[in-house]
Structure 1
Amino acid sequence: MGFNPIVDEAKCQGCEECVDVCPVNVFEMQDGKSVPVNAEECLGCESCVEVCEPGAITIEES
């Protein structure tokens, strides 16, 4: 079973906290927004969800 990180672009404020906290470098900043460029590496630890103040990130099990 894997995990799928989803970023709501409308909520993302571009703070880069998720980029900094992710232990497996799932996220990358593109045009001022966080993008899960390595989603297949997601461990489902939800560190990104915890640091995202506007609640722009969700993790779904796949």
Structure 2
Amino acid sequence: MFKVTVDKDKCTGDGECIDVCPVDVYELVDGKAEPVNEDECLGCESCVEVCESDAITIEEI
């Protein structure tokens, strides 16, 4: 299981994490990425790699 955190101050809302996530963890909420399906996270960190603003962290719990 993984804990997905999005730093709202850093998030630009470009949606790259939404596009790259294979299991639809993210949705845009008020122009920012929100991990609405955190339980689905595979821990692949594709979202971390494409996030140009370094707003996403994933921790194994």
**Fold equivalence (TM over 0.5):** yes
Shift of 1:4: 1.2
Q: What TM-score do you get using the length of structure 2 for normalisation?
A: 0.98
> Hey, which bits of structure 1, 4+ residues long, moved more than 4 A?
none
SS of the aligned residue for 2:49 comes to helix
Shift of 1:5: 1.1
Q: Letter of the 1:36 partner, please give it.
A: P
Q: In 2, Cα distance between the equivalents of 1:22 and 1:48?
A: 6
Q: In 2, Cα distance between the equivalents of 1:10 and 1:44?
A: 23
1:5-33 alpha-carbon deviations (Å, 9 max, x no partner): 11000000000000000000000000000
Return 5+ residue gaps in structure 1 as ranges. none
Count of matched residue pairs: 61
SS of the aligned residue for 2:34 comes to strand
Q: Letter of the 1:17 partner, please give it.
A: E
Q: In 1, Cα distance between the equivalents of 2:37 and 2:8?
A: 17
Q: Letter of the 2:16 partner, please give it.
A: E
Q: Letter of the 1:31 partner, please give it.
A: D
Q: In 1, Cα distance between the equivalents of 2:48 and 2:4?
A: 9
SS of the aligned residue for 1:23 comes to coil
Q: In 1, Cα distance between the equivalents of 2:4 and 2:21?
A: 11
